[in-house]
Amino acid sequence: MSWAIWITGLPGSGKSTLARAVAAALAARRISVKLLELDQIRRVLTPAPTYSAGEREIVYRALVYMAKLLTEAGIPVIVDATGHRRAWRELARELIPLFAEVQLRCPLPVCVERERTRRRRSVPSGIYARAGQPGATVPGVDLPYEESLCPEAALDTNMLDLRTQVQEVLYLARHLSRHAARRECLPAVRG
């Protein structure tokens, strides 16, 4: 059994940058981790995405199940996905005994600017350009983004430098790894 850390936040809050930096820092320490980037997974699951509620439900449930299977196989997982519905992240918490959530916080105008100027890899372009238009489904604008009620870490990506953010997530990964080494489940932290 291994662990999973879900990095969540609005589009443009810095999830992918942080997830990739954490994965690289773990690799430098000879710790193999699987990075599940929803934007890349979505290209396989839904090559012509509609971003409908039903489609999102299926895609996020598949993401959670992938993370569960990998952790059961002893592979640590970093999840890079907005996951605007708390229920999806809670499903991961229910299915993965060693699970932690990192909530990224960033003002919406900063997120919008970051998305506008970011280099395209596998992410959809112009996420916020469609916001507010009829039929748009942009989390944090057209759809509510449900922040975690009790994340294991909450990071303000507008105020903290990337190095500090990475160190916070690495601390969390070390904590989870200690529990995995002892084959323990995390104690419930819910109130």
Q: What is the pLDDT of residues 150-174, one digit of tens each?
A: 999 999 999 999 999 999 999 999 9
The fourth-level CATH superfamily of domain 4-181 is P-loop containing nucleotide triphosphate hydrolases (3.40.50.300)
Helix (H, G, I), strand (E, B) or coil at 125: coil
* Closest to 9 measured CA to CA, from 108, 150, 125, 152: 108
- Of the chain, the percentage scoring pLDDT greater than 70 comes to 88
* Closest to 8 measured CA to CA, from 147, 119, 110: 147
Q: Are 177 and 71 in contact (CB under 8 A)?
A: no
pLDDT average, residue stretch 45-53: 87
Q: Are 179 and 3 in contact (CB under 8 A)?
A: yes
CA diameter of the chain: 52
Looking at residue 189, its pLDDT comes to 52
122-153 per-position pLDDT tens digit: 455 666 667 777 766 777 777 889 999 999 99
pTM score: 0.89
Q: What rounded mean pLDDT belongs to the chain?
A: 88
Q: Are 49 and 122 in contact (CB under 8 A)?
A: no
User: Is the predicted pLDDT of residue 188 greater than 90, yes or no?
Assistant: no
**What are the extents of the domains in the chain?**
4-181
Q: How far is CA 19 from the centre of its chain?
A: 8
Phi, psi angles (nearest 5°) of residue 189: -115, 5
Structural tokens at position 60: 């996020």
Helix (H, G, I), strand (E, B) or coil at 6: strand
User: Is the predicted pLDDT of residue 191 greater than 50, yes or no?
Assistant: no
